[in-house]
Structure 1
């Protein structure tokens, strides 16, 4: 329910898609893609967090790739969420509170909550999604007269297809970004908990708000194309600008709701900051002995620096970040899923869970490392972000299309089974 989800929705129209084009992507992509983190959430019943469980497919040392990229992902999301929230605080203050200051306020609050530990995280996140839900409902009502389904000309031909593919990549990346930490908060579940219950609860918790809030984000951007004051507000403050405009009819209560929208980044960032520490503790036995609060603090400091810098060019930073997150996350889930399906025959009993911290009992991870390299080769050929467009991406439309996720999936999915078979055969000889 966080405001960053609103920002993701604005990228469809920014790419040149109409509201209805954007909605036609938001709905089906989330419906299908959110099943992936819902499945990984059930892995928490092993008692292992996702970054640790990945050792069984990536190998003990190959899994360090997962650790590093997971830390980058959580730090990036910490910054992105904070920037989105800061844009609301800047808008409601009329610019007197700069974005960097809002980033510091949000990230510091998150850090304080994370210091209290995981029990408080569960208690707070169980209910704190309700205030932003109220905000979005009111904003949809008070701002509806400004929304327009045809404020942007409908794209056609290859250029339109390129815009659609790029937005699909963004929505997909947003949904799968939960893969790296969805299991982390289920490790205390009783082992007899039915997996389907965790799957359904996680799926609803990710999919429903993603569809609703991303759609509202696309609608708010359409309002910025029909009303000059909304357009100026978006140019000055980002997504917080048109949101504040939409809530203006509610008067002082509307301003209060904008503040709540800004603070909605806090519950969304709590698992990012806390999971940064959980990821870091997978560097080896020495890392487990480091007090978790130190890693939490490290993630907090990095998020402030990254967030303050990325706020200078938020839209391009968001697109680039989501794209890169999507590339590596695809490879991550492909390796984990193919290991589970092809080599362990979907049997959870095939995992020797007591060996999770014994390097000698794991393969090095050459097969996963190889699949990771091939996957990123595919991503490089299909990526289309502000600073780089791959050779295949450039073939689609006037502005290119982001097909990096599709190519990273194909390259890693085809290479891992072969490399893993060779690794197992070599290690058994």
Structure 2
């Protein structure tokens, strides 16, 4: 590349990918000249999202299931090893140059991909609602702490304010999210370190004589896997796609995996310890009861930017997923639509819902579709050896991935069978809708739905689609060779 060409490419990157301006790219392909991200940026982006009070609550929640502190520690370590799923799910974005559900078109077909895209859109909006409800509850607790009663009018005002603030960063886009989370992570690390110092003298694990059954322990693990490594796989390529395609795969894997796993383990351990001091730590507004009274206001003020930060990841991803559904709207327009919908449902939850019960059920059920979808996309990636036909991914009609009228029924069948398998081993009997799978019933209420969903979904897709995918790879490689010959 000549000097002038290099300067032009740098100017393009600066113009297209800049924090605090509206990102123009959505699900469409990102050119190599517009990918300035580095693995370190990916690490700090995930770290900034996961150093979060929500993960502290997850740590407290699993102890509330009846686990001893030692069992909780083991569950936290085992559950967060599976942030490796996030690392594996981040590999395709740089190669394909598009989002998670842009890549998902390869196994499912452009139209067939709308089914898992719908599941993901509902999941992302669900997480957005979780965050907005937490924000409103936190502000309500601030008012209550000062003796101010929060009536209906003030609640509505809080919901509207939370929605408007939440809208800003996802509207601006990828570069703004990455930069903000990088710097916020430093603040969050410092504050959580202070929290650890404050709580350590009051934690006495030796006096905790509870011991939960293996079945309950697996239920705790599925919550952590769902909220952690597996629960973020459907977002992964939305953020890694701004890495150059030449980025070493090992660097991508470890940046995403460790960026999520390290903070999740540390913060969840803090949450488990907080529960030993005060069982109220299972709710964000109850966490301050585990600390000295003076810490109430510093903690509550910190919670707000944390929840807004993690919600930005979900709202950005729900926007590009809405595009994958075929809605004719640009990325920032999709963010507006999702903001309005999540705000309306947040109001419904605030006035009618049972938030923490609904949250646990939501985390339990999303693995039913997410586990087999992740397995299908990753098996497809392995079968293709990472070779994607970028034109085929972007094509509105026709191309390598069009298949039977835009639908790959093999992938749809694998997804449905994988979901059915996950339901066989799920324990959701205490949620709405209530359901206990037959394998779970036979094993005393254990829950390994996510394991069965991954194994069955991946194996069925491999058995049904391996020949077809290999033919597509050969066609893609012939096309690349032909293009190189012309050049």
TM-score of the two chains, using structure 1 as the length reference: 0.86
Report the counterpart of residue 67 of structure 2 in structure 1: 17
> Aligned to 1:189, what secondary structure does the other structure show?
coil
The Cα of 1:75 is off from its aligned counterpart by 0.8
In the alignment, the residues of structure 2 paired with residue 19 and residue 85 of structure 1 have an alpha-carbon distance, to the nearest angstrom, of 28
Report the counterpart of residue 295 of structure 1 in structure 2: 334
In the alignment, the residues of structure 2 paired with residue 151 and residue 326 of structure 1 have an alpha-carbon distance, to the nearest angstrom, of 35
In the alignment, the residues of structure 2 paired with residue 367 and residue 81 of structure 1 have an alpha-carbon distance, to the nearest angstrom, of 36
**Equivalent in 359, 376, 394 of residue 318 of structure 1:** 359
In the alignment, the residues of structure 2 paired with residue 263 and residue 417 of structure 1 have an alpha-carbon distance, to the nearest angstrom, of 43
**Equivalent in 360, 363, 366 of residue 398 of structure 2:** 360
Q: 1:85 to 1:222 in 2, by over 3 A?
A: farther
Q: 1:422 to 1:57 in 2, by over 3 A?
A: same
1:188 aligns with 2:246: no
Report the counterpart of residue 2 of structure 1 in structure 2: 52
Please list, as runs of the form range in 1=range in 2, the aligned pairs for 1:204-215 lying within 5 A after superposition: 204-215=258-269
1:390 aligns with 2:437: yes
In the alignment, the residues of structure 2 paired with residue 161 and residue 16 of structure 1 have an alpha-carbon distance, to the nearest angstrom, of 11
In the alignment, the residues of structure 2 paired with residue 281 and residue 317 of structure 1 have an alpha-carbon distance, to the nearest angstrom, of 28
Kept in 2, the 8 Å contact 1:151–1:222? The answer is: no
Deviations 1:380-422 (A, max 9, x none): 221112222122212233xx22222122223323322222247
The Cα of 1:93 is off from its aligned counterpart by 3.3
In the alignment, the residues of structure 1 paired with residue 156 and residue 447 of structure 2 have an alpha-carbon distance, to the nearest angstrom, of 30
Q: 1:274 to 1:51 in 2, by over 3 A?
A: same
Q: 1:360 to 1:108 in 2, by over 3 A?
A: same
Q: 1:378 to 1:102 in 2, by over 3 A?
A: farther
Size of the aligned set, in residue pairs, is 403
1:372 aligns with 2:425: no
Please list, as runs of the form range in 1=range in 2, the aligned pairs for 1:218-367 lying within 5 A after superposition: 218-225=272-279, 231=280, 238-241=283-286, 243-249=287-293, 251=294, 254-284=296-326, 287=327, 289-310=328-349, 312-341=353-382, 343-344=383-384, 347-349=385-387, 351-358=388-395, 359-361=397-399, 362=401, 363=403, 364-367=407-410
The Cα of 1:80 is off from its aligned counterpart by 1.9
> Which has the greater radius of gyration?
2
The Cα of 1:169 is off from its aligned counterpart by 0.7
Kept in 2, the 8 Å contact 1:92–1:244? The answer is: no
Kept in 1, the 8 Å contact 2:278–2:289? The answer is: no
Report the counterpart of residue 23 of structure 2 in structure 1: none
Once the two structures are overlaid, the 10-residue window that deviates more, 326-335 or 413-422, is 413-422
In the alignment, the residues of structure 2 paired with residue 12 and residue 50 of structure 1 have an alpha-carbon distance, to the nearest angstrom, of 30
Gaps of 5+ in 1: 226-230
Q: 1:107 to 1:212 in 2, by over 3 A?
A: farther
In the alignment, the residues of structure 2 paired with residue 151 and residue 313 of structure 1 have an alpha-carbon distance, to the nearest angstrom, of 32
Report the counterpart of residue 128 of structure 2 in structure 1: 78
In the alignment, the residues of structure 2 paired with residue 423 and residue 193 of structure 1 have an alpha-carbon distance, to the nearest angstrom, of 28
Deviations 1:32-64 (A, max 9, x none): x11111122232212111110011112222211
1:69 aligns with 2:69: no
Once the two structures are overlaid, the 10-residue window that deviates more, 56-65 or 99-108, is 99-108
Kept in 2, the 8 Å contact 1:380–1:390? The answer is: yes
1:381 aligns with 2:424: yes
The Cα of 1:102 is off from its aligned counterpart by 5.5
In the alignment, the residues of structure 2 paired with residue 410 and residue 329 of structure 1 have an alpha-carbon distance, to the nearest angstrom, of 12
Q: 1:167 to 1:200 in 2, by over 3 A?
A: same
Q: 1:2 to 1:197 in 2, by over 3 A?
A: same
Aligned-pair RMSD on alpha carbons? 2.6
Gaps of 5+ in 2: 1-50, 475-487
In the alignment, the residues of structure 2 paired with residue 68 and residue 395 of structure 1 have an alpha-carbon distance, to the nearest angstrom, of 32
Deviations 1:230-264 (A, max 9, x none): x4xx58xx2321x2223435x2x651232212331
Report the counterpart of residue 135 of structure 1 in structure 2: 191
In the alignment, the residues of structure 2 paired with residue 406 and residue 141 of structure 1 have an alpha-carbon distance, to the nearest angstrom, of 36
Q: 1:104 to 1:206 in 2, by over 3 A?
A: farther
**Equivalent in 80, 92, 101 of residue 43 of structure 1:** 92
The Cα of 1:101 is off from its aligned counterpart by 6.4
Report the counterpart of residue 458 of structure 2 in structure 1: 413
The Cα of 1:179 is off from its aligned counterpart by 0.9
In the alignment, the residues of structure 2 paired with residue 7 and residue 133 of structure 1 have an alpha-carbon distance, to the nearest angstrom, of 16
Kept in 1, the 8 Å contact 2:372–2:455? The answer is: no
Q: 1:298 to 1:151 in 2, by over 3 A?
A: farther
Once the two structures are overlaid, the 10-residue window that deviates more, 323-332 or 405-414, is 405-414
In the alignment, the residues of structure 2 paired with residue 203 and residue 410 of structure 1 have an alpha-carbon distance, to the nearest angstrom, of 21
In the alignment, the residues of structure 2 paired with residue 123 and residue 174 of structure 1 have an alpha-carbon distance, to the nearest angstrom, of 23
Once the two structures are overlaid, the 10-residue window that deviates more, 384-393 or 127-136, is 127-136
